[in-house]
């Protein structure tokens, strides 16, 4: 009874556990679920949020809600959702992010807090234009995620460039909208910045803070005394520096920072308002790079030394290197020389033949170098960004290989060597290797004209064009062609049978393994064939009456005489048929068949053998049957590669005198005879026993 109670309790417990287990849903992978929000828990207006989760519908439509706003919608990938959205403009507070499976009308939710965010940013001119001394900077101040319709107070601080670190502050009021966003714009410098006297009279970076002590937000802007950070040749630089003593003398110096060379120096006098104004035109031979402009006052009356950098960047100018066939040429060094400054700049063409250089306005000599060899030269005028074609004296060297009959030869190895002289008058050697394609040609693209090339063509490592391997390309033309003829060799082949006698009228077929060249020829009555074959390695087959006798490989690299020993041809085969006890069986029909379909037949003689002459060996099928017995039928398959005797035992039969008897019948007959003998012996024994009793 106790055992039954325990069993029932265990069953109830297992049922309860199983009912609580989260079995897979019938129509989905794991229901509608949000398993990742990044950032997690809180964020600011405009911030990007990544949501990852699942829905219940395969490739189904979903929506993501932020509060009462749809912020994303798409189709899931399988059951998975991976979506990005931005936090909408809303007041601070707690909102519900909802992932909705539209087809199932099922939602998953998570809470998310919008927290306030503070921003301050100076409105600067678009680069490379700069804010100059004495001008105003506009400052944008913004609060997002605040309380709706609420006043916010912001203490805006502007700090002068280091090492001055003088600060000017102003408290402003911002009124938020119903969406919790407050914005204001103020101008710096202004009289209401405290302490009074705010200014932009110094060159450098001005730091800007939104409630500096609380570190709510910060930004910066740059003020210079020239109007741009970049200039091009012949452009005018306007300098305007403020804060000097009236009529004070100052020295303007412009230095090329790469070398320290002073490209300009002059003295100037400040105006009665203490403003230094200078206009300077960038020279037409100014070098690319960075320059430093300084204003040095003789009285050193300005607290911060005026010094500012600018660059002459040049324009992107592209040169397309083209060979004589107007094809792009990669890896060409393009060198541009400024005709005024003699400055040289270079670049290398890419796979599309484009070399990009930064050049300033002016006249340039452009030279193309192929491995330090001058192959092209043009003069260009640069006025801005642009592109030019740069022709190069480079030709395409097309090498064609064929045999004496005009057949094109693929997969021939080509090794090319050549010598050339560089611009430094150095002699160098170049090497190129390749292989002819299916068309029998190999093309060396964009190579030098006016020099000689040594070309070695080879098959299987054997060079076959020693006498015609050097060619000169003297003319500048789009394509230069070279023809190489692969020589033929005389080969004499003699076809022999198994007894090394000639096989007359056989056919020889030869296929070159690499190039695919084919030759077919019939041997004469002496079994000999002579032909001229292009060098190579040939798969050679010998046929007679369309029967394959032999297959071998023959190398043809010189005049050759070879014997082809068809050891399977003209074989004598004896088939011996014996019975179960090894006795020869005569009058058995023997049929031989080879894989070529040829067949031979004979009848065994008194010694049980059938002899076949002039057989083509190989894998052969032997069929034997006795004319007096329909069921006396045997089949065997043997491999015959030489003259031989094949013994086949007919295990189901024996010879009795002149008769062939099935061994099963003989066994039955023997049992019957034995039984009769036993019966006679028993009867005889009985009679003898009775006779003895009577006599007694």
**Mean per-residue pLDDT for 195-200?**
94
What structural domains and CATH numbers belong to the chain?
A: 33-114 (2.60.40.1930), 118-224 (2.60.40.10), 236-312 (2.60.40.3080), 315-391 (2.60.40.1120), 395-486 (2.60.40.1120), 488-565 (2.60.40.1120), 571-662 (2.60.40.1120)
- According to the model, what pLDDT value does residue 630 have? 60
**Residue 635 pLDDT class (50, 70, 90 cuts):** confident
Q: Sheet holding 644-649: strands in order across?
A: 609-615, 571-578, 644-649
Based on DSSP, count helices (H) and strands (E) in the chain, helices before strands. 2, 53
Residue 599 has pLDDT above 70, yes or no: yes
Q: Which secondary structure element, helix H or strand E, spans residue 16, and what is its range?
A: helix 2-20
Is there a contact between 523 and 530 (Cβ–Cβ < 8 Å)?
no
For residue 10, what are the CA distances in angstroms to 2, 20, 119, 273? Answer: 13, 16, 66, 102
Query: How sure is the predictor about 24, in pLDDT bands with cuts at 50, 70 and 90?
Result: very low
Closest C-alpha to 257, from 307, 309, 313, 205: 309
Q: What is the pLDDT of residues 308-327, one digit of tens each?
A: 999 999 999 999 999 999 99
- 50-61 per-position pLDDT tens digit: 999 999 999 999
User: Does pTM surpass 0.75?
Assistant: no
Asked if pLDDT for residue 575 goes beyond 80, the answer is yes
Model pLDDT, residue 531: 94
Q: Categorize the per-residue pLDDT at 693 as very low, low, confident or very high, splitting at 50, 70 and 90.
A: low
**Cα 353 from Cα 328, distance rounded (Å):** 5
pLDDT at 470: 82
SS (H, E, C) 267-289: EEECCCCCCEEEEEECCCCCCCE
Mean pLDDT value of segment 12-28: 41
CB 621 within 8 A of CB 592: yes
Residue 606: pLDDT band (50, 70, 90) is confident
How far apart, in whole angstroms, are the C-alpha atoms of residue 132 and residue 223? Answer: 5
The tens digit of pLDDT for each residue in 536-552 reads: 999 999 998 888 889 99
Q: What is the tens place of the pLDDT at every residue in 431-480? A: 999 999 999 999 999 999 989 999 999 999 999 987 667 888 767 889 88
Question: How many percent of the chain have pLDDT more than 70?
Answer: 92
State yes or no: pLDDT of 509 exceeds 50: yes
| pLDDT digits 0-9 by tens, 517-530 | 999 999 999 999 99
Report the chain's mean pLDDT, rounded to a whole number.
89
pLDDT digits (tens, 9 = 90+) for 293-309: 999 998 877 889 999 99
- Is pLDDT at 614 greater than 60 in this prediction? yes
């Amino acid at each position: 009874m106790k055992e039954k109670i325990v069993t029932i309790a265990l069953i109830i417990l297992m049922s309860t556990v199983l009912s609580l287990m989260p079995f897979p849903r019938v129509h989905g992978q794991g229901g509608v679920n949000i398993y990742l929000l990044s950032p997690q828990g809180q964020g600011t207006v405009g911030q990007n949020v990544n949501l990852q989760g699942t829905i219940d519908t395969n490739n189904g439509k979903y929506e993501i809600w932020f509060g009462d706003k749809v912020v994303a919608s798409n189709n899931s990938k399988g059951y998975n959702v991976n979506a990005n959205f931005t936090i909408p403009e809303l007041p601070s507070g707690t909102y519900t992010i909802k992932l909705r499976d539209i087809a199932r009308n099922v939602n998953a939710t998570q809470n998310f807090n919008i927290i306030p965010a503070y921003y301050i940013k100076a409105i600067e001119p678009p680069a490379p234009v700069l804010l100059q001394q004495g001008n105003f900077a506009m400052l944008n101040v913004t609060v997002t995620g605040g309380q709706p319709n609420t006043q916010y107070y912001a203490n805006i601080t502007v700090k002068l460039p280091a090492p001055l670190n003088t600060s000017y502050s102003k408290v402003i009021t911002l009124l938020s909208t119903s969406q919790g966003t407050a914005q204001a714009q103020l101008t710096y410098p202004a009289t209401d910045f405290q302490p009074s006297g705010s200014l932009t009279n110094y060159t450098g970076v001005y730091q800007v803070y939104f409630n500096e002590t609380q570190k709510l937000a910060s930004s910066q802007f740059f003020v210079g005394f020239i109007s741009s950070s970049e200039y091009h040749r012949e452009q005018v630089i306007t300098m305007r520096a403020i804060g000097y003593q009236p009529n004070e003398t100052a020295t303007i110096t412009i230095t090329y920072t790469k070398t320290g060379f002073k490209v300009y120096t002059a003295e100037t006098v400040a105006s009665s308002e203490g403003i230094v104004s200078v206009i300077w035109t960038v020279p037409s031979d100014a070098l690319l790079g960075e320059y430093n402009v300084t204003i040095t006052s003789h009285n050193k009356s300005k607290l911060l030394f005026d010094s500012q950098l600018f660059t002459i960047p040049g324009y992107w100018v592209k040169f397309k290197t083209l060979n004589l066939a107007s094809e792009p040429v990669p890896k060409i060094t393009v060198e541009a020389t400024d005709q005024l400054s003699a400055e040289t700049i270079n670049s290398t063409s890419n796979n599309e033949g484009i070399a990009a250089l930064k050049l300033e306005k002016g006249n340039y000599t452009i030279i193309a170098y192929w491995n330090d060899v001058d192959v092209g030269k043009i003069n260009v005028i640069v006025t801005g960004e642009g592109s030019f074609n740069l022709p190069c004296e480079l030709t395409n060297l097309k090498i064609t290989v064929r045999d004496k009959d005009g057949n094109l030869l693929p997969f021939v190895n080509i090794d090319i060597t050549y010598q050339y002289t560089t611009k430094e008058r150095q002699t160098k050697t170049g090497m190129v290797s390749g292989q002819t394609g299916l068309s029998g040609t190999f093309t060396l693209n964009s190579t030098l004209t006016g020099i000689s090339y040594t070309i070695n063509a080879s098959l299987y490592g054997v060079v076959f064009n020693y006498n015609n391997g050097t060619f000169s390309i003297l003319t500048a033309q789009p394509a230069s062609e070279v023809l190489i003829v692969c020589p033929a060799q005389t080969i004499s082949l003699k076809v022999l049978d198994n007894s090394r006698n000639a096989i007359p009228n056989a056919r020889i077929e030869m296929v070159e393994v690499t190039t695919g060249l084919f030759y077919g020829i019939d041997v004469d009555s002496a079994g000999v064939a002579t032909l001229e074959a292009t060098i190579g390695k040939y798969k050679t087959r010998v046929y007679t009456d369309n029967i394959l006798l032999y297959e071998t490989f023959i190398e043809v690299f010189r005049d050759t005489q070879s014997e082809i020993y068809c050891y399977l041809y003209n074989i004598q085969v004896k088939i011996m048929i014996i019975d179960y006890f090894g006795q020869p069986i005569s009058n058995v029909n023997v049929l031989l068949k080879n894989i070529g379909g040829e067949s031979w037949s004979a009848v065994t003689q008194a010694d049980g053998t059938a002899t076949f002459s002039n057989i083509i060996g190989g894998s052969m099928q032997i069929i034997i049957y006795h004319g007096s017995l329909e069921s006396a039928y045997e089949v065997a398959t043997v491999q015959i590669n030489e003259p031989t005797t094949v013994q086949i035992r007919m295990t189901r039969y024996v010879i009795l005198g002149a008769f062939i008897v099935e061994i099963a019948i003989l066994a039955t007959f023997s049992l019957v005879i034995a039984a009769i003998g036993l019966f006679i012996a028993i009867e005889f024994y009985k009679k003898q026993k009775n006779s003895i009793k009577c006599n007694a």
